[in-house]
Chains A and B, each alone.
Chain A
Amino acid sequence: MKYTELFTLKKLTACVAVVAMVSFATMPVVHAASKEKKEKLEKPNLKFGFIKLTDMAPLAIAYEKGFFKDEGLNVELEAQANWKVVLDRVVSGELDGSHMLAPAPLGASIGFGTKADIVTAFSMGANGNAITVSNDIWKQMKPNIPVKDGVIEHPIKADALKPVVDLYKSQGKPFNMAMTFPVGSHNFKLRYWLAGGGIAPGYYAPPQDTSGQVDAAVLLSVTPPPQMPATLEAGTIFGFCVGEPWNQQAVAKGVGVPVITDDEMWKDIPEKVFGVNKAWAEKNPKTHIAVLKALIRASMWLDEDNNKNRAEAVKILSQSKYVGADEKVIANSMTGTFEYEKGDKRSLPDFNTFFRNNASYPYYSGAVWYLTQMRRWGQINEYKDDAWYLDTAKKVYHPDIYMVAANALIAAKKAKAEDFPAKTETGFKPEQKFFIDGIAFDSTKPNDYLAKFPIGLKGKQVVAGGKVTGE
């Protein structure tokens, strides 16, 4: 008994010592940055990638508003073809960093798809996605949706879609929907919504089966975001989950109807991150901090004074080198409103947040949530203990580096301390309850969380030979 006590005490002192050392080590950096403006950076010429989606905004704003330049960086932004290209180019070093799907670095770390060490210290924003179905499916869904005072009640649950999917199944017709990347936020959000309404989205069984369609009532496949409206119109898919402006584009072109936005599914759901190669981050620590400072300032600018700057941001984003969609379409979701059925425009101020509610802080809990979803659908096809989830999150997400940049900004009086998480922040949000299916999420107990889902792998279950086996 005494020995164990002694041991834990020893461990505790060690922990304290390490924490103290780290903070001492980072302090001089912070101090120097505030005192001496032009510090020599390891690599001032940088090339960042992005996908044409409105949540790349922090990159565009940091460039256009001169925040990168203020940090002594000369940055080139380049649009990329798809998320696979983004990941491969960050791995190969063609890109110094990129706009990435929040779970993509986690997927790379566990080796689903490309195996690589990507880290992130900046969340590019929360929410910003929606699920859209084709006009035809919407017509069939509509009778199942509750109406209040003659207005359709939101959020719409997948329960309304279930009879339609069942009808297709009884007729022997496949029901296809699209997302953007297997280890992408859209995949997990679409799956979450479907499963919440009792519709099975199918399991993965790596390494043999990476199609994610084992035991599926709805067949999900990958389509690049910009092609979503066209594919929906062509009738190849009946619905999709994607970021903006593509849902509003579908409304504007009259090819589909958004049924739910992701912040109605779970408030402040982490969405995109700024990912860099781990080796790059270790080789260029000062440059990394400088980039983060510029990005934090850009996200602050985007959310400043109740979205005051959003109109200007929309103008910048609509340039053909950035998102390039029509201003009107981008404005629909960026300026606090969202149009569901044509003409049904509702106020949704938090549809896409960049800074408020700590949207730019890379919470470990967000990473853990994505890891649980990877486990739930078989991308992680074996039992892992709770500690594994937390360790993996800590390996990839780095709020510690984020806070170094934030403290540098506070010291330089470019930001206020109260805008950032308090010093006591652990990176794990307390239990969150605002999910559409009412299942609460405690990020420190991933296995308990998984056990609560009616559909999905739990405990020691695995997918093998085309079906779920194990207890």
Chain B
Amino acid sequence: MNNKLIKFFNLAGLTWFVPIVKICAGDNPTQQIRQMWLIMGVPIVAFVIFLALWSASASQINTSLGAIPGPSAVWHEFIGLVDEHTAERQKEREFYQQQAEENKEALAEDPNAELNTFAYTGKSTYLDQILTSLYTVFTGFILATLFAVPLGILCGMSETFRTALNPLIQIFKPVSPLAWLPIVTLTVSALYQTGEDSWFEKSFLTSAITVTLCSLWPTLINTAVGVSSIDKDLVNVGKVLRLNWSTQIRKIILPSALPFIFTGMRLSLGVGWMVLIAAEMLAQNPGLGKFVWDEFQNGSSQSLGRIMVAVFTIGIIGFILDRIMQTLQNLFSFGKPQ
């Protein structure tokens, strides 16, 4: 039981809890407490020192928008943003209520009256922006994976294919999202016509595709490396058994290359998240990037605090995404943690 729990925590990246479980099991308490201090206490102390340094130095720097906000000011702005969210939701409920009442009145007057079914058009709150960003990054990331994994497998399996694609990969891999963005924007506006009932906004597609273009490469390269470094014996066994092409991929190549593919995907998601913020700033797709840009443009005395909130949100979400991918990676590496 205990061993299973410990294994679970290790896999989930929640190593903080491992010593607690061990103490509960009566496993040499002094050693476990030492272990706890190392993996929990030290980071917490370091974080507290960081907060103290930040709060001491922030007030020393004066910008044209006032002093850089300290931790308490940032926390205050965060609470303010959450309050704004609740207030906006309240307004939204009132809007729909009012619309329903007006429709009822209109129906009472004339049973055939045309009813209003307007969607609420208030501002998107901070929490909405976070969700939009996550939605965009995952769309871009999934698209990237769908392209990169099959291509990577082809590259890994065929020497010719790899040599053919190599220059392209090397050229496009280092390109910054900012260079892609204008091209993607123009292409999307030219090819994608929006109407009343279109699925996506153009700006959403622009940022998602930019994320795809930039996060494609780590998965592609890792998959190719993973596939090409499969134990030759395994491949030969496949040949001896005369497995057909698709069975070979499913039974031999994919299982052995999975750890590599997940390492690539983990890197890709990290890149995608970073790229997304820049793309949103420029493409003006609603999301955290636009939030930062709008606040910069506002230039009010609250702006810096709010941007700081966004910085921490971006960091924490990036951290959580990475942990999730790490867990997946551990799960699929069959006992060989990367």
Q: Is B313 an interface residue (CB 8 A)?
A: no
Binary flags per residue of A364-399, CB closer than 8 Å to B gives 1, else 0: 000000000000000000000000000000000000
Between A and B, how many residue pairs show CB distances below 8 Å?
Answer: 70
Q: Report A237 CB to chain B, min CB distance, Å.
A: 14
Is the pair B121, A81 in contact by a Cβ cutoff of 8 Å?
no
Q: Is the CB of B294 within 8 A of A92?
A: no
CA A463 to CA B284, docked complex, whole Å: 37
Q: Which residue of A lies closest to B284 (CB)?
A: A81
CB pair A320–B64 under 8 Å, yes or no, is: no
Instruction: List which B87-137 residues lie within 8 A (CB) of chain A.
Output: 114, 116, 118-119, 121, 123
The answer on a CB contact under 8 Å between A40 and B295 is: no
**Any chain B CB within 8 A of the CB of A469?**
no
* A93 CB-CB contact with B under 8 Å: yes
Please tell me if the beta carbons of A226 and B64 are within 8 angstroms of each other in the complex: no
Contacts of A75 in B (CB 8 A): 121
- In the complex, the chain B residue whose C-beta lies closest to that of A93 is B194
Query: Of B64, B65, B297, which is in contact with the most chain A CB atoms at under 10 Å from its CB?
Result: B297
- CB-based contact B300/A318 at 8 Å: yes
CB <8 Å contact, A92 and B114: no
Are B299 and A229 interface neighbours, CB within 8 A?
A: yes
Contact of B300 among A74, A81, A320 (CB under 8 A): A320
Interface residues in A181-226 (C-beta closer than 8 Å to B)? 224, 226
Query: Contacts A81-B282, A94-B203 given: A226-B123 contact, CB under 8 Å?
Result: no
Is A459 an interface residue, CB under 8 A from the partner? no
Q: Which residue of A lies closest to B125 (CB)?
A: A321
- Quote the shortest CB–CB distance from A76 to chain B (angstroms): 4
Task: Tell me, rounded to whole Å, the shortest Cβ–Cβ distance linking A377 to chain B.
Answer: 27
In this complex, the member of B123, B194, B284, B299 whose beta carbon has the largest number of chain A beta carbons within 10 angstroms is: B299
Contacts of A253 in B (CB 8 A): 64-65
Interface centre among B293, B300, B306 (most CB of A within 10 A): B300
From 412 to 448 in chain A, residues with beta carbon under 8 angstroms from any chain B beta carbon are: none
Residues of chain A within 8 A (CB-CB) of B296 are 226
CA distance A318 to B299 in the complex (A): 11
Confirm or deny: B323 has a beta carbon within 8 angstroms of a beta carbon on chain A.
Answer: no
CB < 8 Å: which of B123, B194, B196 contacts A321?
B123
Tell whether A233 is near chain B: CB-to-CB under 8 Å.
yes
| Chain B neighbourhood of A78, CB < 8 A | 284
Within 8 A of A (CB), among B164-205: 189, 194, 196, 201-203
Is there contact, CB below 8 Å, between A45 and B294?
no
Determine whether the beta carbon of B64 is less than 8 Å from that of A80. no
In the bound complex, CA of A38 to CA of B30 (Å) = 79
Q: Are A76 and B64 in contact (CB under 8 A)?
A: no
Q: How far is the CA of A88 from the CA of B65 in the complex (A)?
A: 31
Pair B300/A92 contact, Cβ less than 8 Å: no
Q: Which residue of B lies closest to A253 (CB)?
A: B64
Q: Does B298 contact A (CB under 8 A)?
A: yes
Q: Are B297 and A52 in contact (CB under 8 A)?
A: yes
A92-B202, A94-B194 in contact; A74/B121 too (CB < 8 A)? Answer: yes
Residues of A within 8 Å of B189, CB to CB, are: 88, 92, 94
Chain B residues near A79 (CB-CB < 8 A): 294, 297
With A81-B293, A94-B202, A326-B301 known as contacts, the answer to whether A45 contacts B119 (CB < 8 A) is: yes
Per-residue CB contact flags for chain B residues 278-314 toward chain A (1 = under 8 Å, else 0) read 0000101000000001111111111100100000000
| B contact residues around A88 at 8 Å (CB) | 189
Most buried by B among A75, A320, A324: A320
- The answer for the CA separation of A451 and B65 in the assembled complex, in Å, is 46
Q: Least Cβ distance of A350 to chain B in Å? A: 26
| Known interface pairs A76-B121, A81-B282, A324-B294; A45-B196 also in contact (CB < 8 Å) | yes
A317 shortest CB reach to chain B, Å: 11
Q: Cα distance A230–B298 when bound, in Å?
A: 12
User: B202: which A residues are within 8 A, CB to CB?
Assistant: 92, 94
Contact of B118 among A52, A74, A226, A318 (CB under 8 A): A74
Cβ-neighbour of B298 out of A40, A45, A52 (below 8 A): A52
Any B CB within 8 A of the CB of A17:
no
Q: In the complex, A80 Cα to B284 Cα: how many Å?
A: 7
B161 vs chain A, min Cβ distance (A): 38
List residues of chain A with CB within 8 A of the CB of B121: 74-77
A85 at interface, CB cutoff 8 A: yes
Q: CB within 8 A of B64: which of A77, A230, A318?
A: A230
Say yes or no: B64 contacts A255, CB within 8 Å: yes
- In the complex, chain B residues whose CB is within 8 Å of the CB of A323: 298
Please report the C-alpha to C-alpha distance between residue A97 and residue B115 in the assembled complex, in whole angstroms. 25
**Contact (Cβ within 8 A) B284 A226:** no
A32 to B306, CA, bound (A): 49
Q: How far is the CB of B193 from chain A (nearest CB, A)?
A: 8
**Complex CA distance for A72 and B301, rounded to whole angstroms:** 37
- In Å, the complex CA distance between A44 and B114 comes to 13
Min CB–CB distance B123 → chain A (angstroms) = 4
B-side residues, CB < 8 A to A, are 64-65, 114, 116, 118-119, 121, 123, 189, 194, 196, 201-203, 282, 284, 293-303, 306
In the assembled complex, 14 residue pairs joining A and B whose CB atoms fall closer than 8 Å, in A order, are A40-B114, A43-B196, A45-B118, A45-B119, A45-B196, A75-B121, A81-B293, A93-B194, A94-B201, A226-B298, A249-B299, A324-B294, A324-B300, A325-B298
* A-B complex: 3 closest residue pairs judged by Cβ atoms: A324-B298, A74-B118, A226-B297
Beyond A44-B118, A92-B202, 15 extra complex contacts between A and B, CB < 8 Å: A52-B297, A74-B116, A75-B121, A76-B121, A88-B189, A94-B203, A253-B65, A320-B294, A320-B295, A320-B300, A324-B303, A325-B298, A325-B300, A326-B300, A326-B301
